[in-house]
Amino acid sequence: MKFLNILLGAAAAGSALAAPACDATAPKDKRASKFKFVGVNQSGAEFGKDSLPGQLGKHYTWPVKSTIDIISYITGKGAYAVLDPHNFGRYYEQVITDVDGFKAWWTTTAKLFASNSKVIFDTNNEYHDMDNSLVARLNQAAIDGIRAAGATSQLIFIEGNSWSGAWTWTSSGNGASLLNLKDPAGADKLDLVYCRLDDERLRDATAWLKANGKKAILGETAGGANAQCISALTGMLGYMASNSDVWTGWLWWGGGPWWGNYMYSMEPPSGAGYQQVLPSLAPYI
C-alpha cells in the first residue's frame, strides 16, 4: 500500500469544527453537516514507487500524527484510514491481469487489519485505460479477498475505469460494468468512489446513483486559493449536500509532509489549502 486517505467522520448532527478552520487552537463551533465523511488524501509512501523497497525519510515518508490530530480536531470526530494499492491498476507499469493474484494480495493485506474497525479498504486507485470487464473482475476479486480475510465489518470503496471520474462515470461504461458487484458482507458495506469534480460534472453521476440505489464518496477534490476556485468548490459541495442521500462525503487532494509549497496542500500549519481555502469549506465539514 502506498497511499493513505485520512477519513474524518462528520456525523449528520452535532459535528464540530474549529473557527476559523485553519486555527487548531480556536474554540469549537458546533454545526450540522450532511456528510458522513470528510477527509484528506495523505501522500507519503507512494513517493518511493521508483525506489523499491526504498529508505524511509529519503525515498518515502508517512503522514504526520500531529496533522491527523489537527484535522480530527477540526471535524470533531475520530479518524479512519482508507488503504489502497496506489498503482492505477498497474504492477511494474503493466496492467494487472492476474485477477486471482490480486485477490490473494488483498486477502493477505486485509488480514493485517481485519479486526481494526477504523480501517476502510479501497480496491485500487484510479483504474484507467483498461477493459471495463477487467476492472469489474479486479474489483470483485478485491471484495472477495478482503472478506475472505475475515474483514467483514469494514467499508470497501470501489473505483472505476477512466480514472474513476464522475464526469465520465456513465459514458465510460463504469455504471453498467460495476452495477452488479456483490459483497458477501452486504450491499451497505460498499461505496463507490469518484474523483476530481465540479457540480456540473457531478450531475450525471448523481442521477445514476439515485436511479440505481447506490452511494458514493467524492474521492478527490481541490481548488486553488482564489475566489473563482473557492466559489466552484463551495458550489460543488453545496450541490452534494443537497444530494446527501447519495453523496456520503468528500476527500481533499492532497495532504502529507512532502508537498512543500504545492498549491493544494492541506498540510498544517502552512499549506496553501489549509491556510487559504479550508476556512471557506467550513459549512461542509
Q: Return d(Cα 38, Cα 122) in angstroms, integer.
A: 16
Q: Return d(Cα 105, Cα 141) in angstroms, integer.
A: 10
Q: Which three cell numbers stand for residue 139?
A: 474489483
Residue 88, classed as helix, strand or coil, is: coil
The DSSP annotation for 35-87 comes to -SEEEEEEE-GGGGTTSSS--BTTTB----HHHHHHHHHHHTS-EEEEEE--S
Partners of 109 in the β-ladder: none
Catalytic residue of the set 126, 159, 200, 267: 126
Cα 180 to chain centroid distance, Å, stands at: 22
How big is the chain by its Cα radius of gyration, in Å? 18
Q: Which three cell numbers stand for residue 28?
A: 469549537
> In one letter, which amino acid is 151?
A
159 catalytic residue (yes or no): no
Catalytic residue of the set 46, 93, 159, 220: 220
46 catalytic residue (yes or no): no
Residues with a catalytic annotation lie at 126, 220
